[in-house]
Amino acid sequence: MSSSYTKPAPKFDLSSPSPAYTLASGDKMPIIAYGTFRSNPGEVGPAVFEALKAGYRHLDLAHVYGNEEEIGKVLKQAFDEGIVTREELFITGKLWNSDHDVEIVPKAAVHSLNNLQLDYFDLYLIHFPVCWKHTGLATPSWGASELGNTSLIDTWRAMEDLVDKGVCKNIGVSNYPMMLLHDLVTQARIQPACNQIEVHAYYQRESLVNYCLSRNICVTAHTPLGGGLLNSETWDTPIPLKDDIILEIAKSHGKSPAQVLLRFLLQHGVVVLPKSVKPHRMAENKDIFDFSLTADEMRKIGTLDKYVSYKTNPNPLSAFLGGSDAFSKEGTDIFD
């Protein structure tokens, strides 16, 4: 049986001086974001400040990371010193699992904005497709977490209201598998602008990525390097940074393995979200527009797909431990 498929074209021009993804709303999202997950207190503020000085204009934040207030102080400093204006930034925030109740959603968004000393989010995401019982805005649930009773579509309706009220310019989701996302698409009044997911050379998720691109839903890779050295050291998992094919391609271009992995995703139309607190790494992660991967190199990297999630985001598996909704000795995997 013969078949053919034409991959959706990338929604941004990599030859542009400032490449950006044009969201369905018409808003422009810079295609390289600076991530703030796994940044320690006292470390994240200076790191964000360095990222802004290095030219990053897209910041990826989340309430559960526990660092909004520190980042808010740095944003105010950057605005006051004229390093950047609010209008020049694209800021993404996330609604945590224990804040899904309809009456809590607007309070959670405002709570995060107050922490950040901002008036609006450019993009606000449902962090995970699961509702937990509310535990307080200042105390997002993690540990003995219990499933709540609010449906995902009811939470989405509350998110749509945030757009209507100007609290968020765009709304989207994170960690949504394809059929949950399609279910949302069929019901949403305001379509999701983005799906932020685990996607990298070892977990390429072709069907989900191409579905999103076909619906003009931006795909953002929250772990474009496959979790990096921390995952390798913590869980002894293989990482694409050390793959022989990646190392060979990097050497041929005079680039680092990280730069090759980021470029691979960009050429597939995926927005990337690298993380580092080191200024030289921040600069390196942005320096990926002076080379391109050949069709053969893209094909070679494509063969590295292991079709396995490395759970490089904080999968809420263990957060259920100690509660009545822990259904295995490891907790509860919401993606089963």
Whether the CB-CB separation of 205 and 148 falls below 8 Å is answered with no
Q: Taking Cα atoms as reference points, which of 175, 219, 204 lies closest to residue 317?
A: 175
Q: Taking Cα atoms as reference points, which of 67, 62, 30, 64 lies closest to residue 285?
A: 30
Cα atoms found within 13 Å of the Cα of residue 53, Cβ hemisphere only: 13
Mind spelling out the 3-state secondary structure of the chain? CCCCCCCCCCCCCCCCCCCEEECCCCCEEECECEECCCCCCCCHHHHHHHHHHCCCCEEECCHHHCCHHHHHHHHHHHHHCCCCCHHHCEEEEEECHHHCCCCCHHHHHHHHHHHHCCCCECEEEECCCCCECCCCCCCCCCCCCCECCCCHHHHHHHHHHHHHCCCECCEEEECCCHHHHHHHHHHCCCCCCEEEECCECCECCHHHHHHHHHCCCEEEECCCCCCHHHHHHHHCCCCHHHCHHHHHHHHHHCCCHHHHHHHHHHHCCCEECCCCCCHHHHHHHHCCCCCCCCHHHHHHHHCCCCCCCCCCCCCHHHHHCCCCCCCECCECCCCC
Q: What is the pairing mode between strands 34-35 and 58-60?
A: parallel
Cα separation of 35 and 46, whole Å? Answer: 13
Q: Assess whether 65 carries a catalytic annotation.
A: yes
Q: Give the amino acid at 64.
A: V
Kindly name the residue from 21, 65, 124, 202 that is annotated as catalytic: 65
Q: Catalytic residue positions?
A: 65
